[in-house]
Structures are given as C-alpha cells and as structure tokens.
Structure 1
Amino acid sequence: MLTLTCLGAAGTVTGSKHLLDNDGRRILIDCGLFQGLKNLRELNWEPLQAAPSSIDAVVLTHAHLDHSGYLPKLVRDGFKGRIYCTLATRDVAELILMDSAHLNEKDADYANRKGFSKHRPAVPLYGVHDAERAISQLTPVAFGERIALPGGAALTFRHAGHILGAASAEILWNGRRMAFSGDLGRYSDPVLPDPEAIPEADYVVVESTYGNRRHEPTDTTDALGSVIERTVQRGGTVVIPAFAVGRAQSLLYHLWKLRTSGRIAGVPIYLDSPMAINATDLLHAHRADHRLSPEDCASICSIATYTRDVEGSKAITASPYPKVVISASGMATGGRVLHHLKAFAPDSRNTVLFSGFQAAGTRGRAMVQGGNEIRIHGQWIPVRAEVRDLSMLSAHADADELMRWLSRFRRKPSRVFIVHGEDEASESLRVRIDRELGWEATVPRQGQVFQL
C-alpha cells in the first residue's frame, strides 16, 4: 500500500516534509526547517514521526532552508541514504546548510555569552559536522533525466523557476504517478525559467504560499526605483532583508536596470551577505538554469559592493550616507540584516523594504503588519523607518500562476493535496481548484496519512 504523510508544511509555509511509504520503503520529499512562530520552531526539536533510519532516500526540490534545513539533523539522527537534487541545488544547498550550521553554533554561543536564552546552556539544533555529512549525501540529477530510486520508484526533475536549481518532482511508484510542485516561481521572470508543465499525474502536491493573493501588476523595477529615490531624497538608507539565494540575485537585476537607466546613479549598493555573494557567483557556474547572457550576468553581478567580512559590514552600518543594503535573512529571522535593522529601523529617514513572503511569527511579518518595535538579540528596537512590502518581488507564484501550472496537466488527477500555505491561502486555492477545474482537492493536517 502506498501512502502519503505530510510531516511539515501542512497549515504553514515552513518545514516542508512529505513522506511516501510503500509497504515500509520510504522516500521523503523535502526536509525543511520550521520557521516563524515559536510553536512551529519547537517542532524542529521533536523526534520525526518516521524514524530517520527507516527512510530510504530524500528528494530535495530546492535548497531554501524551509525545504532543506532539517537535513543535517535527519542525518545526525540516523538517515544514511542518498539525497537526490539537481546539480545547481547541490551547490546552493552546500552554501545554505553550512551557513545554517554556522549560525546555529554561533547563535547558541552568543546566547550563552549574553545570557538571554532560557536554556542553560543553549545548544545548537545541529552543527557544522552534521551539515558536512548531509552535503556528502547529496546526489545530483539532471533536469529531465529519469532515475531509479530505492524500492522501485522512479524520479524526474522539471524546472520550477523560484531559485537557481529549483525543481518540481515527478515520482512513479507502485503504478502511481505523483507530482510535487516544490516552490513554483513566477512566469516571465527576467532571470529564471518559467515553471515547467508536468504532463500527467494521479496525485498532485502543490504549494499555496500565495494561494489567496495576486501580485501587483506594477512594474517591479519602477516600484523599487521609486522607493529608493524617495528614501535617498530624505537622506536615508534602504535596508532590504533578502533571501541570500534567489531574491538577492533578482534584486541585483532590478538595481542593474535602474542604474543603467540613470535613475539611481551614484547611490552605493552593498550586498552584505557572504552566502548571497557565493550564490551570486553560482549564476556563472549554472548558466543553463537561468535566462541571463554571460555579458549581462557579469554586469549584474558587478553592480554591488560585496561585503564578506564583519568589519566591512560594521562600516556599512556606521556610514551616514544614503545607500542600498541587501542582507540576509529574507524574513529577518537571523543573519547580518539584524545588525542593520538595529541601526537603521529607529530612524524615520530610512526604509526597510521586504521583497518576499513573510511567515507568521517572524520579525518581517511583524514589521509589514505595522509593528512599532521588534526584538533583536534580547533588546526591543523601535521601528520608525518607513516599511514597504513589494510583493511583486516575491519568488513565489501567485494564485493565478498556481492555477496556470495546475491547468496544464493533460488529465484530471485523482486528488490534489494543497500544502506550504497558511490556512486562508490553502483553503482559498482549494476552492478555486474545485470551482474552476472540478478536481478533488484536500488541505492536509500535520501528520495526516492518505492512501494513494
């Protein structure tokens, strides 16, 4: 009997983990960290519903932390199989997992030194050694190539857009054909390919991050330029919390367009994230996975001043001159951007600009919803800066684009499972699928088991 169990991303946009079980042979699709609300983050410390040692393989759709960040803990807790992903995802995941492990260790050490953790001592969820072991188990697969998985399953990756290397996964097992969307990107994105159609499937697992929303039709470059110009005119700095992989590179593209048009000439641009810098370098290594020409890629990547060391980052914070600072993390959950927020958020001349989805319980969501203070490193920081959220900068497909991807299946699937969305977004997409396509669609609960 083949079953599907959602061990994460059920009723939330984080912690993606979907388990296929065929009479005891198990394949896990994605293995992400829970982020945001405390009750979700605490799930990262709970034993996995399926023993890691019982899982035969992991299929990784892309490298973002909410899809890959639990891998080091899975390996530490006994998983010994292969982790199948695209070649670009393999390279990006190495950056993200090592960065996550370093941050886990650093945050635990900082909490112990400053004494603001409730735990004595604070310990990391996992460390660098665990990340290195997980990376050693990553197994690259080419787009469009069908490969055999343990237990008699077969896997094919198809382009999903979203970030470099991102894929949707088509899995054939026990006579059932299953499609996992992963995170779908935008159609006509200037940097990344369109989400690729999967011809047919018996069961579809689709994300719903923006299942109840449409992105504004406003020109992205123009909207970004207006925010920067307004902030610079009042002598302020624009701080952009951005995912180091995907958003940072797309932002560089739009900033390049603005610079070449003469709109932000003379405004310094800083990319203050070692991981984002390394991820930007990967654009050159994986040219088949994006739309940019080698010449444009080189120009875009040279638009910003790259800051790798801590002293350089501190110099950016100390500078009183107008500038644009791109720094991770995208939801302001950690990383160097926290230091910039501590410095720039209290000043009304500045702007904090968000460029992607902000999950519940994150500092990003609090600021977007109008919160006038945020807690960073045990301190409450006032937010007097202008806060803007340009949703059209998001790397996620909106509701119409999700429906466009679904409508390209050649036949009606037996069932659609709607995951990776907050309750309202997932339910809204379920209603649209029922009304517009006439398909049976379900929003799974955490841990719910479905027979396929």
Structure 2
Amino acid sequence: MKLTFLGGAQTVTGSKTLFEYGKTRILVDCGLFQGLKELRLRNWDALPIDASAIDAVVLTHAHLDHSGYLPVLNARGFRGKIYCSAPTRELSRLILLDSAKLSEEDADFANREGYSKHRPALPIYDRKAVQEVMERFHAVPSGKWISIGPEVKIRLSPSGHILGSTFVEIEAGGKRVVFSGDVGRKHPTLYDSPVRLERADTVVVEATYGDRNHLEESASIDRRLIEAVRETHSRGGHVLIPAFSVGRVQEILYRLSTLKRRRELPEIPVYLDSPMGIEATRIFTEFPAWHRLEREEVDRLCKTAIAVKSRSESIRIMREDAPAIVIAGSGMLAGGRILHHLAARIGDPRSTVLLVGYQAAGTRGRLLQDGASEVKMHGRYFPVRARIATIPGLSAHGDQSDLLDFVRGFETPPKRIFLNHGEPQALDALRVKIKDTLGQDAVIPHLGERFDLSPFPEVVAARGVSHWPDL
C-alpha cells in the first residue's frame, strides 16, 4: 500500500494524492494549481504516472483546486470512473465548464492584445474536453461502502465544507486510509457539522488554517458585513464581494437576506453578477438533504439578489454611480466578472473590496489583502484607492481547533498522519500542535513524495525518512 503526493503538498492548491494497493491505483482529488505562476505552470506538466494506469478518481468535493485537472487527465488517457457525491457531480460540471470558458477567453484575449509570451496562447482545456470527462462521473450515496477493485472499497461521508463535500475512506487489505479533503467548520452556517468516522490506520488531513483559529462568531461576522455596507453606502460607493460561486455566494446571500429581513442594512441593490453563482444557487436548492436550511429560508436567499444574466447588464452596473453591492467570482480575484468591476472601482476611494474567503499566495486577492498599492489585470496596472476589508471568519475551512478535533475524533485513532493542503507555516504549526496535544508525529510531504504504508513504512523516491509504528 502506497501514497504519492502529486499536488496539494506544501501549498493549498492542486490537490492530487495517488493511492496504490496491489495493481489498483486510485487518485483522490484531481485539482488545478492556482496562485503563483510557478505553481500554475505545473498544470501543463504530465503526471509522473501514465493517466491510463489510474483505475479510478475519487473526488472529495467540486472546488477547482480539487477537480480542475480532470479534463487534462482524461485527455491524456484516463479511462476509469470518477466517484463522488451527487451534488459534487453537478457542481463539478458547472465549475469545469466555467474554468474552460475562462481559459478560452483568457487565451483569446492574450492573442488579441499580444501580452502572452506564447504564440498562440492556448487554453489548458476547452468545453468539449469537459463534456467528455463528465461522462466518467459516477455519483454514489454517502455512508455506504462501494467496491471499486480487488479487496478495495471506498466510502464517502459529509465533511461540512460545501454542498456535497465528503471525507473519503479507502479500505484495502483490512487497512483504512482516510482523506479529509477540506474539513468544514464545527457549526457551518448552511451545512450539517462534519460526521465522525470510526477508525483510520492512516489519515491525510488538510491544514489550510492549521496555524490559527477563527475567533469571530457569527454575530461578529454580521457586524463586519453591516459596517462595510453602511460605510460604503454613506460614501456613495460600491461594495465588491469577490466570492467563490459554490458555497461562499450562497452563504453571503443567506446572511444578506437575514440582515435585510432584520432591517439592519440600508436600502441598497444587491447584484449577483456570476452566471456560475446563479447556477450554483439553483443546484443548492435541488439537494435539500445536503444543507440545513428550511424551504422558506432558501426562498428568501434566492430573492435577495438581482441575477445579472448578460454582459450588457454587467456593464451597466459597472457604470452606475449609485451605491450597490456586487457579488461576483472568482473568490481570489483570479478571473471572472469581478475583475471588470474591480477595474472600474479599484481607483474609487468611495468603494470597498470586501474579501470573504481564503486568499492564496500569489493571487490578486492576497496582494490586495497584503496592502498592494497597485494590481495588474489584463496586462495593465491599476492604482489601489478603494478600501480593502476582510471578514476572516467566513471561511468554510475548519480552523486549527476543528482540524485537531477531526484527527482525534476517530473511535480508533490513526497511527499515521500526513498533512497537506496548506502553506508551510500553517502545516508546521499544525504538526507541532498535533505533537503537543495528541503526542503523535505528523509528516508534511513534499511534492512527488511516495510513502510505503507497509508495517515499517519508508519514503520511496523522496526526501527524508519517515518512521512509523508497526501496524
């Protein structure tokens, strides 16, 4: 039994972990690298394993950093099934089609404007490639074991991160490996709390917020949201909310709908300028078993914002001088319609850019969060004069306390712990906390490290040596 970390190693994007048992090879998650250019360039590289040799992919959830490489994998010869929850299948279709569309548009724009070094600039994949890979998706029920190979079975259980997100358990040869994917909060706003699993011999756990705790309660988050809207409204500006279309858009709409109902916000139009956000919200309404809202709350959420369905409507809103709230993707300002609103408002001191999600290193969102005086979009630099604000407590990722609870929540505790999906500081802080709190050693893999999970595991073709207790 072996694990190879092909992505998400000492970074928060590009999640891919190869599980091998006998002749069975399973890829858990298949995400795109995002953020720093040196990471994004890896999306063009072939994996160190032939795609045709992978028997199956299991997705923890639909976010692009966990699903976005699938069309590339399929184009390079993958012919197996992709297992996931039913909401993840529908959301993945939406996210991948949007990713392809943006990639095509960026390539076209680069070719027209001539700012790419490549001649011609090409999309990493197109919409046809997405349609082809969607034929491989196979939705499975949560909580039930599914056999996918000789002596190998999987089970998916709700993780509380976004709609349809799950933990992945793989059992083979009597041993069980658990992949956390992205761990949700203890008490998510929209979803049930993450389930507790019985046991794990080995666990791979994310560490996005491994170095901190979310100190803000829901009421404090609402106060920050009220403050940002009221102050910007009084100045006559726009509140721009870059938001992940899946998960974050729905939570922002829910909070705005609640605050409007309580009459805690001024009269101000709310625009959802995100075709993907509009569709993701529709999908949200179709899976009531996967969220905790009542029908009336869902209806109110859906009526909170004006859905912007055309480019001409979007342009009209950009040119409006009256105060407004604009919610658009992408959440890290990596692309999407939010960039056009940002270009129109970033130089306006009356306006506010309200960051409500994790901003990975190298993204425009992180640059603004860190106080950049200018930001580059479509080959141009724009001076930053708008107010930049952050509501950190809105993250759908569990904090250090939540991650510790996940690790110690097994009825039979894991003997091996791997930490991934985090930046180096967060990974190391969680490693130290696990050692201090639970008395267990955790390993932080490097990209490409392969671990043998035999009774005396060793690192194969990797830096360093890992020593594990005998199973």
TM-score bracket, shorter-length normalisation: over 0.9
Q: What is the CA deviation profile of residues 139-191 of structure 1, one whole-angstrom value per residue up to 9, with x for unaligned ones?
A: 00111011011343111111111111000111101222011001011121221
Secondary structure, counterpart of 1:254 in structure 2: helix
* Alpha-carbon distance in 1 for matches of 2:58, 2:404: 24
2-structure distance, mates of 1:161, 1:198: 13
Given the alignment of the two structures, is residue 174 of structure 1 paired with residue 167 of structure 2, yes or no?
no
The alpha carbon displacement at 1:400 in A equals 0.9
Deviations 1:340-391 (A, max 9, x none): 1101111111100111110011000000000011100000011111111111
Q: Alpha-carbon deviations, 1:278-318, whole Å to 9, x = none?
A: 00011210000000011110111110000121111111111
Shift of 1:203: 0.3
Do structure 1's residue 42 and structure 2's residue 41 form an aligned pair? yes
Residue 349 of structure 1 corresponds to which residue in structure 2? 350
Cα distance in 2 for partners of 1:168, 1:332 equals: 28
Matched, 1:340 2:341: yes
Cα distance in 2, alignment partners of residues 102 and 138 from structure 1:
20
Mapped to 2, the partners of 1:221 and 1:192 lie a distance apart of 18
C-alpha distance in 1, partners of 2:150/2:64?
A: 27
Deviations 1:92-114 (A, max 9, x none): 00100111111111111111011
Match runs of 1:432-447 below 5 Å: 432-447=433-448
Structure-1 separation of matches of 2:215 and 2:308: 32
Q: For 1:290 and 1:55, how far apart are their aligned partners in 2?
A: 33
Q: Could you tell me which residue of structure 1 aligns to residue 318 of structure 2?
A: 317
Q: Deviations over 1:209-266 (max 9, x none)?
A: 0000111324222221111111111111110110000000000011011101112141
d(CA) in 1 for partners of 2:444, 2:150: 28
Q: Residue in 2 aligned with 1:85?
A: 84
> 2:237 maps to which residue?
236
In the other structure, the counterpart of 1:326 is: 327
Measure the CA separation in 2 of the matches of 1:402 and 1:140: 27
Superposition map of 1:47-62 within 5 A: 47-62=46-61
User: Which range moved further: 320-329 or 188-197?
Assistant: 188-197
Aligned equivalents of 1:438, 1:351: Cα separation in 2: 45
| Residues 196, 410 of structure 2: 8 Å contact kept | yes
Deviation string 1:33-71 (CA, Å, 9 cap, x unpaired) is 000001100000011111111100000000000000000
Counterparts of 1:19-34 in structure 2, within 5 Å, are 19-34=18-33
TM-score (norm 2): 0.94
Q: What are the superposed Cα offsets for residues 380-413 of structure 1, whole Å, 9 maximum, x if unpaired?
A: 0111111111110111111111111222112231
* 1:116 counterpart residue number: 115
Percent identity of equivalent pairs: 46
Quote the Cα distance in structure 1 between the aligned partners of 2:82 and 2:4. 19
Contact persistence 2:407–2:413 (CA under 8 A): no
- Are 1:214 and 2:213 counterparts? yes
Matched, 1:281 2:282: yes
CA–CA distance in structure 1, aligned partners of residues 47 and 70 of structure 2:
12
| Aligned residue identity for 1:272 | D
More moved, 18-27 vs 251-260: 18-27
**Distance of 1:217 and 1:100 partners within structure 2:** 32
Distance in 1 (alpha carbons) for counterparts of 2:297 and 2:208: 31
State the partner residue of 1:383: 384
State the match for 1:154 in structure 2. Answer: 153
SS, match of residue 268 in structure 2? coil
Greater shift, 78-87 or 223-232, is seen at 223-232
* Paired position in structure 1 for 2:408: 407
Moved more, 423-432 or 225-234: 225-234
SS at match of 1:84: strand
Give the count of matched residue pairs.
451
Give 1:196 deviation, angstroms: 1.2
Deviation at 1:20, TM superposition (A): 0.6
C-alpha distance in structure 1 between counterparts of 2:341 and 2:215, whole Å: 28
The alignment status of 1:270 with 2:260, answered yes or no, reads no
Q: Match of 1:299? A: 300
Contact 1:418-1:441 within 8 A present in 2 as well: yes
Matches within 5 A, 1:409-424: 409-424=410-425
What secondary structure sits across from 2:336 in the alignment? coil
> Match for residue 448 of structure 1?
449
The TM-score normalised by the length of structure 1 is: 0.98
Separation in structure 1 between the aligned mates of residue 289 and residue 273 of structure 2, nearest angstrom = 27
CA contact (8 A) 2:230 2:266 kept: no
Determine if contact 2:36/2:362 at 8 Å carries over to the other structure: yes
Distance 1:171 1:274 in 2: 36
| Contact 2:233 2:266 survives alignment (8 Å) | no
Q: CA deviation at 1:26?
A: 0.6
Tell me whether 1:138 sits opposite 2:137 in the alignment: yes
CA distance in 2, matches of 1:24, 1:363: 43
CA RMSD of aligned residues (A): 0.9
Indicate the residue corresponding to 2:460 in structure 1: none
The whole-number CA distance in structure 2 between the counterparts of 1:310 and 1:446 is 40
Aligned mates of 1:423, 1:265 — CA distance in 2: 42
SS at match of 2:38: helix
Once the two structures are superposed, the pairs formed by residues 89-104 of structure 1 within 5 Å of their partners are 89-104=88-103
Instruction: Measure, in 1, the Cα distance between the counterparts of 2:367 and 2:247.
Output: 23
Q: Distance in 1 between matches of 2:42 and 2:242?
A: 25
SS of 1:161's equivalent in the other structure is coil
SS of the aligned residue for 1:276 comes to helix
Query: CA shift at 1:30, angstroms?
Result: 0.0
Counterpart-to-counterpart distance in 1, 2:226 and 2:141: 37
How far did 1:198 drift?
A: 1.2
Distance in 2 between residues matched to 1:367 and 1:326, nearest whole Å: 17
Q: Which runs of 5+ in 1 are unaligned?
A: none
Aligned residue for 1:20, secondary structure, equals: strand
Q: Which runs of 5+ in 2 are unaligned?
A: 454-471
Q: Which residue of 2 aligns with 1:199?
A: 198
Q: Is the 8 A contact 2:374 2:384 kept in 1?
A: yes
State the partner residue of 2:467: none
| Range with greater deviation from structure 2 (197-206 or 185-194) | 185-194
- Equivalent residue letter for 1:280: T
